[in-house]
């Protein structure tokens, strides 16, 4: 069945309207995503700027962790230095190295995993970890509450030893025979801290909204192009042909 001229025009109009609506909606969706990320960034900054929590307030479960993410806290406890794990393939300031993770035993008897800082990798011997200082006895630690360190892809079962690709709170708790809180904290530099050889230039949590603005602009340009092409080829150009 052959469409009439009027039918073809209606079909082209329908296609143009649908395409404009879809591309415009995609542009609005990208703007909504940017707004959501800005709200998230504001919430993270608000949590970071809030007064530090006391040790007694430290979360004991996942629900409590969700409410305390990115908050600062002051902890007092004793380093379990023999249980230190060095997370491999971690970068700081663009250099490869290790995140040093040590359990801190609290007065309550349980412990929390502390991301104490970063050490550079030895270019000659990957199994060699640079030395650093661990204070003996009770210590005060200023930290920021975070989820456990991100997991990196690993091939097969990891070999036993202090150098690991990833660390799991539950597995570490069972291996140590120690109750660990379901979280991790990143140690911060506090006034009066003595140098210990660890770098603590932790990356700040940030959200990239510029790409969403760019995607939104592209979709709106597509919408405008579709509308402009329809007006030119279906309305203006035929009229110019008839009058020439």
- The tens digit of pLDDT for each residue in 182-239 reads 999 999 988 888 889 999 998 776 677 889 999 999 999 999 999 999 998 888 888 8
pLDDT digits (tens, 9 = 90+) for 56-81: 999 988 889 889 999 999 999 999 99
pLDDT digits (tens, 9 = 90+) for 117-174: 999 988 788 778 888 999 999 999 999 998 888 777 665 556 667 898 888 888 888 9
Encoding tokens for residue 71?
């908050």
The tally of CA atoms less than 13 A away on the side-chain side of residue 243 is 6
pLDDT at 241 over 80: no
**CA 50 vs CA 43, 47, 53, 96, 145: distances in Å:** 11, 5, 9, 32, 12
Taking the CA atoms of the chain, what radius of gyration do you get in angstroms?
28
In this prediction, residues 43-58 reach a mean pLDDT of 88
In this prediction, residues 109-120 reach a mean pLDDT of 94
pLDDT of residue 211: 92
| Nearest-5° Cα angle at 179, 156 to 185 | 75
pLDDT of residue 42: 87
pLDDT digits (tens, 9 = 90+) for 5-31: 788 888 989 999 999 999 999 999 999
pLDDT of residue 57: 92
Contacts (Cβ under 8 Å, ≥6 apart) of 72: 48, 50, 51, 52, 53, 142, 143, 144, 145, 188
Of 156 and 91, the one with more pLDDT: 91
Residue 112 binned pLDDT confidence (cut-offs 50, 70, 90)? very high
pLDDT of residue 21: 96
Of 151 and 99, the one with more pLDDT: 99
DSSP, residue by residue, the chain = -PPPHHHHHHHHHHHHHHHHHHHHHHHHHHHHHHHHHHHHHHHHHHHHHSPPBPGGG---SHHHHHHHTT-EEEEEEEE-GGG-EEEEEEEETTEEEEEEEEEEEETTS-EEEEEEEEEEPPSS-TT---------SEEEEEEEEEPSPPP----SSPPSSSEES---HHHHHHHHT--EEEEEEEE---TTPPP-S-B--PPPP----HHHHHHHHHHHHHHHHHHHHHIIIIIIHHHHHHH-
pLDDT of residue 188: 94
* Residue labelled with tokens 């539950």: 170
pLDDT at 114 over 90: yes
Shortest CA distance to 209 belongs to which of 37, 1, 2?
37
């Amino acid at each position: 069945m052959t469409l009439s001229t009027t039918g073809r025009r209606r079909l082209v109009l329908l296609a143009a309207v649908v395409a404009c609506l879809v591309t415009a909606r995609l542009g609005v969706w990208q703007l909504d995503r940017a707004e959501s990320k800005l709200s998230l960034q504001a919430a993270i900054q608000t949590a970071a700027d809030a007064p530090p929590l006391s040790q007694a307030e430290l979360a004991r479960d996942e629900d409590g962790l969700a409410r305390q993410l990115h908050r600062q806290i002051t902890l007092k406890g004793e380093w379990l230095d023999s249980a230190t794990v060095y997370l491999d393939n971690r970068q700081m300031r663009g250099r490869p190295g290790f995140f040093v993770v040590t359990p801190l035993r609290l007065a309550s008897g349980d412990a929390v995993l502390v991301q104490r800082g970063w050490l550079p990798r030895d270019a000659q011997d990957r199994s060699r970890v640079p030395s650093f200082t661990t204070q003996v006895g009770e210590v005060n630690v200023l930290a920021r509450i975070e989820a456990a360190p991100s997991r990196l892809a690993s091939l097969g079962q990891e070999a036993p030893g202090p150098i690991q690709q990833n660390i799991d709170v539950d597995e570490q708790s069972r291996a140590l025979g120690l109750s660990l809180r379901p979280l991790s904290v990143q140690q911060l530099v506090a006034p009066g801290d003595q140098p210990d050889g660890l770098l603590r230039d932790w990356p700040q949590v940030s959200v990239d909204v510029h790409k969403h603005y760019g995607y939104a602009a592209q979709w709106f340009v597509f919408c405008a192009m579709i509308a402009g092409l329809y007006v030119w080829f279906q309305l203006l150009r035929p009229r110019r042909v008839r009058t020439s």
